[in-house]
Amino acid sequence: MELFLRWLLYTLALIFTSWVVPGIEVSSFLNAMFVVVIIALINTFIKPLLQIITLPINILTLGLFSLVINALLLMLAGYITPGFEVEGFLSALFGSIVLSLFALGISRI
C-alpha cells in the first residue's frame, strides 16, 4: 500500500511540475503514472553509473553537476516515453529541480 501511495504522490508531483514548468507536458494521468515508473527505472539503473563516471567533474563543481545529470535523465525519460515531452535543457533543468524538491518532501512524509 505504501508503494502505491508513493507512486501516486510522485505522479501528482510530475503533473504539478508539468503545470508549473513551461516546456514539460504530460498528456494524461495514466501517462504520468507510466513516466514515473520509467523515471524510477532510469534512476535505479542508469543514474548511479553516470554518477560514478562523472565523479571528478562532480567534485570540481561541488555537486552542482548532479543537476545536469538529473536534467539529462529527465530528457531521456521524455525521449523514451510517449505522451511525455521535455522541450529543452532549461525546461529539463527546472523540471528536475522541482521534481527533486517534491521527492524530498515525499520521502520526508
> pLDDT, tens digit, for every residue of 14-71?
999 999 999 999 999 999 999 999 999 999 999 999 999 999 999 999 999 999 999 9
Tell me: the pLDDT tens digits for 63-108? Answer: 999 999 999 999 999 999 999 999 999 999 999 999 999 999 998 8
- pLDDT given at position 109: 80
- The rounded distance, in Å, linking the Cα atoms of 108 and 66 is 21
Q: To which H or E segment does residue 81 belong? A: none
What is the grid cell recorded at 56? 571528478
pTM of the prediction? 0.93
Q: Tell me the HSE value of 70 on the side-chain side, using a 13 A CA sphere.
A: 18
